Amino acid sequence: MFQKLMVYNRFSVVYRFALVSLCFAAGCSPVNADDNPVLAGEALLQALQAGGYNIYFRHAQTDWSQSDHIAQAGDWTTCDSSRVRQLSDAGRRTARMVGEHIRTLRIPVGKVLASPYCRTVETAELMDLGVVETTTDIMNLRVAEYFGGRDAILKRARSRLAMRPPPGTNIALIAHGNVARGATDVYPDEAEAAVFQAHGAGGFTFVGRLTPAQWAELAKDNYATKTQHQNRSAPLNRDRGYQE
């Protein structure tokens, strides 16, 4: 039964990859958030483990009793909660947890990009997936006036999502919900990830999305599967009749 399930999963991944390729060949643009993801669950995990995707995270949960008060360029970098909205304690726990799950699942991340806002940089740092590089290409649209306007930011964000990661790796981008919605029509919740397959100059395709709970479920299932394999391969103690 297990072998049949493994065969089915492999076929499912190949079939869904074919759908993505056909969509790209037909000139598909980024899909609407209402469209069904191409990959989910184990199939999405296997794809991410192979690399080649841009994983766009909206920053982790924030304290909505706080507000952004941007008076001049650079104010967004402050971690002063009286001036700019920051992560909540729950958001910090979530960021650490998601990063731990990604490492446990052996998903290769070759580059980590973050908007310069304190809440996005802190999310990226707490996830601990690699050295964090800040970029205004995925800047919060609320300060678009400092960066050439809304359309300019969205154009640069789309270029980032279309950029192919180095072979065998993924790129993690940690930014804002309004940028994701404006550049792709996919609107992630706080701490949620939207996964895109990059096509270089040809743009990108929305592949799937993962909430913190779904990352946890994948890590749990992966651990259970690994344990089963270890138990099956453990040598049998003939004298006592059970596995050590």
Judged by DSSP in three states, 28 sits in coil
- Rounded distance between C-alpha atoms, residue 105 and residue 219, angstroms: 6
Q: What's residue 241's pLDDT?
A: 42
- Rounded distance between C-alpha atoms, residue 40 and residue 38, angstroms: 7
**pLDDT averaged per 10 residues, the chain (length 244):** 34 45 45 61 96 98 97 97 98 98 97 98 98 98 97 98 96 98 96 96 94 96 65 51 36
59: closest CA among 9, 134, 109, 158?
134
Q: DSSP letter at 79?
A: -
Task: For the sheet with 53-58, list strands across it.
Answer: 132-134, 109-114, 170-175, 53-58, 193-198, 204-210
Q: Which stretches does DSSP call E strand in 40-124?
A: 53-58, 109-114
- Rounded distance between C-alpha atoms, residue 134 and residue 189, angstroms: 21
pTM confidence score: 0.80
Q: What's residue 109's pLDDT?
A: 98
The CATH homologous superfamily for domain 2-229 is Phosphoglycerate mutase-like (3.40.50.1240)
Any idea which residue has 């909505």 for tokens?
Answer: 64
CB contact burial 149-168 (16+ within 10 A = b; e otherwise) = eeeebbebbbebbbbebeee
